[in-house]
Amino acid sequence: MANSTNFLLALENVSVSFDGFKAVNDLNLYIDKGELRVIIGPNGAGKTTVLDLICGRTKLSSGSIKFNDREITRLNEQDIVQLGIGRKFQTPSIYEDLTVFENLEISFPRGRSVFGALFWTRTSEIIDQVHAIAHMIFLDKHLNSPAEMLSHGQKQWLEIGMLLIQDPELLMLDEPVAGMSVAERAKTAELLNEVIKNRSVIVIEHDMKFVESIAHRVTVLHQGKVLAEGGMDAIQANPEVKEVYLGH
Ligand code: ADP
Ligand code: MG
């Protein structure tokens, strides 16, 4: 059994059943500090469910999830966010009526008290952070545009920015380039290669060209289990992987 001390995130023997169906089946998954892991696998393999388990949205039936060597299995979603795990869902959840600046500003963490939330001031620290993140997500020319004016890809970047401004130690993205143009995909790869400098990232993705441009290691999920794990070359050459996934 691996020693979880070396990992940022460790899932061990994790299972979850929905009405008797094992969507995740005795899964072991270890993510290093500073690693960008991509999870691939056919539809229904359990990829999104794994993220739901890590962020506390779905409770596991058995097993253990440790973050920084601390058991997070029974914590609620908000406490898991506070520990430094940020998660982006498949559909962007931004405030369409607010500007890019305002979307980033309201995502800036400013304490948990009611007073903190009501009477915050626009400090230079917040303004600097908003500008730094806007630059990273290619939206520094759009700070004053309402979010509804952005392209689909720009909205995805904005939501990533809203997570980045909270400075999570682990960022999880579910199919971030779905619906993006080829140029937007390339820029998203550039963004993730920048993001990874201070944190770990888990990305679920189908686009193999995109996966190739970002992944340190790839985990292939199939029927709620790890079918294969390793570098991109080994994964693409793996006959079992070809059969269940890449061949389609
Ligand atoms: P993927 O993201 O790999 O396409 P999912 O994790 O979304 O797969 O789903 C894995 C399986 O679990 C699917 O069969 C799905 O229908 C089922 N499932 C996921 N979430 C729930 C839920 N909350 N209730 C019941 N079944 C679910
Ligand atoms: Mg999914």
pLDDT 10s digits, 108-137 = 887 544 455 555 566 788 899 999 999 999
* Residue 18 Cβ < 6 Å to ligand 1: yes
CA 170 to ligand 2 center in whole angstroms: 19
Q: Where are the domains of the chain?
A: 35-59+76-246
CATH, range 35-59+76-246: 3.40.50.300
> Which residue owns the Cα nearest ligand 1 atom 22?
18
CA 168 to ligand 2 center in whole angstroms: 22
Q: Considering the entire predicted model, what is its pTM?
A: 0.92
CB neighbour burial string for 3-38, b if at least 16 within 10 angstroms, e if fewer: ebeebbbbbbebbbeeeeebbbbebebbbeeebbbb
3-state secondary structure of 17: strand
DSSP strand pairing (200-204 vs 217-222): unpaired
86, containing H or E segment: strand 85-88
Per-residue pLDDT reduced to its tens digit, 47-91: 999 999 999 999 999 999 999 999 999 999 999 999 999 998 777
Residues with CB under 5 A from ligand 2 (ion): 47-48
DSSP strand pairing (70-71 vs 62-67): antiparallel
